[in-house]
């Protein structure tokens, strides 16, 4: 009888946790820069990540490029660096588009821009790729000064990897804090029930 109650408690735990939300983190590491100026070196690269809200459905907008799905409204946070500047949701604006509307998939083509508004005096980090296996239409760029077009990505930039090796993406799902809390409470409930019926038995 005691074992049956514990099993029922575990089943209840799964029922409670199943609907819980989990955000998706898209992380990127670029190739090292090929063309540099100023403080940048050929050892620098772009690294960063976006956190997308659970259940977010991207918007379809045709830009004349393959990255027609817009994830920007679903961004909860981000952190990007090119080795000399770091942008987060606290000090920058961000754009993130891909060629897929399916959450949790590795982007095969993308456009991202993180930094100060286009044409302002701040810097920016830009990366885009159209999905070509040979990397013939792709770019990773970062810059400390104004002038980047926000689209092409190399005008006025201090460093870039034009048509270099493709960067790599990874995707992971992370439970929201409320989910972790629910799991903890449910496990505590299971322990209390098990001890109670151990004493009674």
Helix (H, G, I), strand (E, B) or coil at 79: strand
pLDDT at site 158: 74
Q: Which residue has the higher pLDDT, 186 or 56?
A: 56
Give dist(CA 135, CA 125) in Å, integer: 19
pLDDT at site 140: 82
Give dist(CA 95, CA 73) in Å, integer: 9
Taking the model in full, what pTM does it have?
0.74
35 and 1 within one domain: no
- Do 47 and 29 meet the contact criterion of CB atoms below 8 Å apart? yes
124 and 162 within one domain: yes
Number of domains comprising the chain: 2
- Do 121 and 149 meet the contact criterion of CB atoms below 8 Å apart? no
As a whole-number percent, the residues of the chain with pLDDT over 70 amount to 65
- Do 92 and 116 meet the contact criterion of CB atoms below 8 Å apart? yes
- Do 98 and 110 meet the contact criterion of CB atoms below 8 Å apart? yes
pLDDT single digits (tens) 93-102: 999 999 999 9
Query: For residue 198, what are the domain limits?
Result: 1-20+178-201
127 and 87 within one domain: yes
**Residue 120 CA to its chain's centroid (Å):** 25
- Do 158 and 146 meet the contact criterion of CB atoms below 8 Å apart? no
100 and 48 within one domain: yes
108 and 124 within one domain: yes
192 and 107 within one domain: no
10 and 71 within one domain: no
- Which ranges of the chain does DSSP label H, i.e. alpha helix? 2-17, 177-200
pLDDT at site 112: 92
- Do 4 and 26 meet the contact criterion of CB atoms below 8 Å apart? no
pLDDT at site 16: 47
Residues in Cβ contact with 70 at an 8 Å cutoff, skipping those fewer than 6 apart: 58, 59, 60, 61, 96, 97
């Amino acid at each position: 009888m005691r074992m049956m109650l514990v099993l029922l408690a575990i089943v209840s735990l799964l029922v409670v946790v199943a609907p819980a939300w989990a955000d998706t983190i898209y992380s990127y590491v670029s190739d090292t820069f090929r063309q540099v100026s100023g403080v940048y070196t050929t050892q620098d690269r772009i690294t960063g990540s976006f956190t997308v809200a659970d259940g977010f459905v991207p918007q379809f907008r045709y830009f004349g490029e393959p990255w027609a799905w817009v994830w920007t409204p679903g961004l909860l946070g981000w952190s990007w660096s090119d080795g000399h500047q770091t942008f987060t949701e606290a000090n920058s604006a961000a754009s993130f588009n891909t060629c897929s509307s399916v959450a949790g998939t590795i982007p095969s083509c993308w456009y991202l821009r993180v930094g100060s508004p286009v044409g302002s005096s701040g810097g920016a980090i830009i990366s885009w790729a159209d999905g070509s296996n040979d990397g013939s239409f792709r770019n990773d760029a970062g810059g400390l000064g104004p002038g980047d077009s926000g689209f092409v990505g190399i005008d006025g930039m201090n460093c870039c990897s034009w048509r270099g090796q493709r960067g790599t993406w990874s995707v992971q799902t992370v439970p929201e804090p409320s989910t972790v809390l629910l799991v903890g409470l449910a496990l505590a409930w299971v322990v209390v029930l098990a001890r109670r019926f151990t004493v009674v038995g």
